[in-house]
Amino acid sequence: MRTAHLLLAAATVSLAAGCRGGAGSEPAQPVPHVTPIDTRASAEPAVDDEPPTPRPPKQGDPEDGDTFEGTAGDTDKPRPGAQVAVLRDVRAARHEHYDRVVFEFEGDAVPGYHIEYIDKPVRQCGSGDVVELAGDGWLSVRTTPAAAHTDAGKPTIPFRERKLSLGVIQEIERTCDFEADVTWVLGVSSPNRYRVLELSKPARLVVDVKH
């Protein structure tokens, strides 16, 4: 009977040791915590298509209170042989005695230009399509040699037409960007006298229309 008790006790100890793992076995490792990662593609950033905000006159511009006689006739200043000037900005603002439109080009040279009041219908170059432009007068500003696009064909000005609420200028629209000819037409409430200025650093062609 004593021998049976000893054998039963030995079996119990062996079974308990087996439940804990044999000699030399590695203790159980804790499960590591894993932070999930979002692998979805992020959304595209919003693109700001708004044109540049009109800026105050730069150094060298006439003062707001400066009046001028101007002209209602044609203004012609060709520059044959000049390099093509790339248009980089078009902006407009109201001043005390006139509205101003600024055409800013790369570099320090303004291209040649021809400015005149034209009759309706105003048309797109090339296609000849009629352009509906606000106002009772239409001042054409043609610059050449010039371009309003990159070598890859991407427009350098993010808008083609813009409604305005100034003293006299009601709308501006590009009617041509073809074969080194860039033309914008200013729709005005009245074909008032205008003046033309050339400014540098950067090159700017400025058209002021009297109120």
More confident residue, 37 or 10: 10
Residue 71 carries which DSSP code?
B
Closest Cα partner for 100 from 69, 56, 131? 56
What's the confidence (pLDDT) of residue 35?
33
pLDDT at residue 175 is higher than 60: yes
Beta strands in the chain (DSSP E): 75-77, 85-94, 98-105, 112-118, 122-123, 130-131, 137-144, 146-147, 161-163, 169-178, 181-188, 194-199, 203-210
SS3 category, 100: strand
pLDDT band at 21 (very low <50, low <70, confident <90, very high): very low
Closest Cα partner for 108 from 83, 91, 90? 83
Q: Which of 59-68, 70-79, 142-151, 177-186 has the lowest mean pLDDT?
A: 59-68
Query: With contact defined as beta carbons under 8 Å apart, do 90 and 143 qualify?
Result: no
Q: Write down the architecture of domain 75-210 according to CATH.
A: Sandwich (2.60)
pLDDT at residue 111 is higher than 60: yes
> pTM of the full predicted structure?
0.70
pLDDT at residue 78 is higher than 50: yes
Beta bridge partner(s), residue 104: 89, 204
CA distance 52 to 42: 28
Mean pLDDT for 109-122 is 96
Size of the chain in residues: 211
Mean pLDDT for 18-46 is 39
What does pLDDT average to over the chain? 78
More confident residue, 70 or 29: 70
CA distance 189 to 114: 21
More confident residue, 135 or 108: 135
The two structure tokens encoding residue 6: 């000893």
* Long-range interactions of 129-134: CB distance < 8 A, separation 24+: 131/173, 131/175, 131/185, 133/171, 133/173, 133/185, 133/187, 134/163, 134/170, 134/171, 134/187
What's the confidence (pLDDT) of residue 66?
62
pLDDT at residue 62 is higher than 70: no
Query: With contact defined as beta carbons under 8 Å apart, do 196 and 205 qualify?
Result: yes
pLDDT at residue 26 is higher than 70: no
pLDDT at residue 48 is higher than 50: no
- Per-residue pLDDT tens for 121-153? 999 998 999 999 999 999 999 999 999 999 999
Mean pLDDT for 99-114 is 96
- Cβ-based neighbours of 181, under 8 Å, separated by 6 or more: 125, 142, 143, 144, 145, 146
Mean pLDDT for 157-164 is 96
